[in-house]
Amino acid sequence: MRWLHRNLWGLLLGIVILSSAILLYQSYQSTDTSEASSIREAAHLIASPFQKSINWFSKRFQGLQAYFTRLEELKKENQALKKQILHLTNDASALHEIVARSVSKSTQLNWVNSYPKPVIFGDILGISTDPLTRVWWLNLGAQDGIKVRQPAVVAEGLVGRVQNISSKQSTIQIILDQRSRFPVLVQRNRSRGIVVGTGSGIELRQVLVGDELKIGDRIITSGLSQLFPKGLLVGEIKKIVQSENQLFQTAVLEPGVEFNRVESVGILPLELGLFEPDQPQE
């Protein structure tokens, strides 16, 4: 269409001019005045349809040119609007992220303020890909006062403990790890047992058959192992497994912490018993 707009008008004009020039030349070469007049009239007669066509095409092409010019402007405006929408979408996403993190931090800070000594908070930098060896990397290390065996917790409950440290980072063994095991209490009736990591979850084991377990019972740390302070929520019973001729019973637990949602953790001091609640948790 652009080639036609640029070339057809000139082509038609060239044909008219050439035809008129030939006829006029012949008229001037003729000695007969009446013949010359007739040739000129014939030239006008021949040129007239071309002139009308040129005028018609010229008007149409002017309209098309205005149309395509406006179309290009609309295309540019559309691209500009798309960029603006993209920026606004990114800004909205960033704002939602700020709000979500603020709510999460507010929850953690309210929990931290309930304890007498400071809790150091750090962000999770990485997660192990081994489904059995469950460790996280934290952006806190020896220079931040972190020590091996310090408990890692969030407001919802126990996460794990510091396993190794470097100057700027540390690794946390979470309680889902198969190597993790520690003594606990059934909060309702104070029955003792051990929580063991299975790689994908946690189980309550070595609970005497005579001790009553119920779905929904809350399991807390007992404080007996010098690993974790007493009273930290570990999880709730969601399934009880009992076998005949066995001294102990086992229960599958729902962890108190949603591990796939944790972004930061608090590191507690090593002193045992420091975080034992004044009243039993409900």
Mean pLDDT, residues 77-105 taken together: 64
Using CA atoms, how far residue 55 sits from 12, 66, 276, in Å, is: 11, 17, 96
- Tell which wins on pLDDT, 276 or 129: 129
Output the pLDDT for position 196: 96
- Continuous segment of H or E residues that includes residue 147: none
pLDDT given for residue 173 in this prediction:
96
How many of the other CB atoms lie within 10 Å of CB of 263?
11
Question: Which pLDDT score is estimated for 270?
Answer: 79
Nearest to 152 by CA among 144, 162, 165: 162
**Confidence band of 276 (pLDDT split at 50, 70, 90):** very low
Is pLDDT larger for residue 73 or for residue 272? Answer: 73
Give the span between the Cα atoms of 33 and 127, in whole angstroms.
105
Least confident of 106-110, 258-262, 273-277: 273-277
Top pLDDT among 153 and 87 is at 153
| Best CA proximity match to 221, nearest among 209, 213, 233 | 233
Nearest-CA neighbor of 130 among 182, 195, 194, 176? 176
CA distance 60 to 62: 5
Residue of 158, 175, 183 whose CA lies nearest to 267? 158
Kindly report, residue by residue over 12-47, the tens digit of the pLDDT: 566 656 555 555 555 555 545 555 566 556 556 655
For the ranges 14-23, 216-225, 227-236, the lowest mean pLDDT is seen at 14-23
Residue type, 275: F
pLDDT digits (tens, 9 = 90+) for 185-207: 999 999 999 999 999 899 999 99
Is the model's pLDDT at 273 over the cut of 50? no
- Tens digits of per-residue pLDDT, 73-82? 888 888 877 7
- Tell whether the model's pLDDT for residue 125 goes beyond 50: yes
Q: What would the mean pLDDT of 42-66 be, rounded to a whole number?
A: 62
Mean pLDDT of the chain: 77
Position 279 scores a pLDDT of: 40
The predicted pLDDT at position 205 comes to 94
| 83: Cα within 13 Å, side-chain hemisphere | 6
Q: Are 159 and 262 in contact (CB under 8 A)?
A: yes
Angle at CA 190, nearest 5°, toward 157 and 180?
A: 45
Give the residue-averaged pLDDT of 65-93.
74
Q: Using the 8-state DSSP alphabet, how is residue 262 labeled?
A: -
Predicted structure pTM score: 0.60
101 has a pLDDT exceeding 70? no
pLDDT value at residue 118: 76
